[in-house]
Amino acid sequence: MGLDLTARIGNVKLKNPVLVASGTFGHGKEFEKFFDLKKLGGIVTKTITIKPRLGNPPVRIVETPSGMLNAIGLQNPGVEKFISDKLPYFRKIGVPIFVSVMGYSVEEFENVVKSLEKEGGIDGYELNLSCPNVAYGGAKMFAHDDTLISQVVSAIRKKTKRTLIAKLGPDVSDIGRMALAAEKAGADAVSLINTFIAMAIDVKTRKPVLANKTGGLSGPCIRPIAVRMIWEVCKKVKVPVMGIGGIMNAHDALEFFIAGASAIQVGTASFMNPAAPMEILEGICDFMRKEKIKSLKEIIGSIKE
């Protein structure tokens, strides 16, 4: 039985709904020895900024119950080096590529996208509005304010016809409002959730474990909150929603689809099992065959309330 796993995000058609999340897939090449990258539904790259970034000093990561904190600090080679050194490899894979971009101001966001617009082989952008591990110079994180979200999204909308995804952060009281702001400003989709701002303390030294003091919490411990937020957002917006947050296996992914997500991104799971995205995809197919479901669209938003 042929299964229809396709999904549409903006003007990009995905052959299947399993993507890999930004910052968890290196520059792609790291995973080629573990599975055939061509089988992915798509790739969201590590976040790229206009200038290279060193990233935060160590300690950058710490494990927590069923999760981990990270404060990498957007270490990346900068947009120029990304284009010359990293993009050619992504292009060769032959799956939709969404470049995650970030700036400290609307202008910086625009400049990164402007540089990337000249390059082929990019299907869309994911606007990282919600990195918890960089200093915003006293300013608010974009994802924490719906006015800031619409400013960034509408500015980038004017610069590109490519698919635009707004990645939202979970540390807000009304995630639906944030998603709505992104949709109104012209985003083709929203992706959520980014990591939660969290902290671990070394009780002996009484110092924060991470050099950055706080970090982003990810992994299966955040999944139920992610599912709830996706459910909330799907009721508010019409654009497709990409579900992210502690997806470890097909069962987890299905929760997101039932809540209304059109596609999912696998993140932290790839650290414990680099082949996780493929196993999740196969698990989704197994479920559909067993339940005699022909199209993924029958599952999306099928929650019974």
The residues that touch other proteins, with contacts defined as CB under 8 A, are 23-26, 30-31, 33-34, 46, 49, 51-63, 65-68, 70, 72-73, 75, 135, 212, 219-220, 248, 268, 270-275
Computed over its alpha carbons, how large is the radius of gyration of the chain? Answer: 18
CB of 45 to other proteins, least distance (A): 12
Q: Which is nearer to other proteins, 36 or 174 (CB)?
A: 36
Between the CA of residue 81 and those of 7, 17, 39, 116, what are the distances in Å? 31, 29, 27, 11
Q: Which is nearer to other proteins, 104 or 287 (CB)?
A: 104
Query: For the CA atoms of 155, 266, 76, 50, what is the dihedral angle to 10 degrees?
Result: -10
Q: Which is nearer to other proteins, 57 or 88 (CB)?
A: 57
CB of 257 to other proteins, least distance (A): 21
Q: Which is nearer to other proteins, 59 or 293 (CB)?
A: 59
Q: Is 285 an active-site residue? A: no
Task: For residues 210 and 199, give the distance between their C-alpha atoms in angstroms, rounded to a whole number.
Answer: 8
Catalytic residue, from 131, 221, 234, 285: name it: 131
- Residue 151: CB atoms within 10 Å: 17
Where does residue 158 rank: exposed (0-12), middle (13-18), buried (19+ CB within 10 A)? exposed
Secondary structure (DSSP) of 22-69: TTSSTTSGGGTTTS-GGGSSEEEPPPB-SS-B--PPSP-EEEETTEEE
Where does residue 13 rank: exposed (0-12), middle (13-18), buried (19+ CB within 10 A)? exposed
CB of 270 to other proteins, least distance (A): 6
Task: For residues 94 and 267, give the distance between their C-alpha atoms in angstroms, rounded to a whole number.
Answer: 20
Q: Which is nearer to other proteins, 201 or 275 (CB)?
A: 275
Contact 210, 69 (CB under 8 A): yes
CA 151 to chain centre: 20
What are the catalytic residues? 131
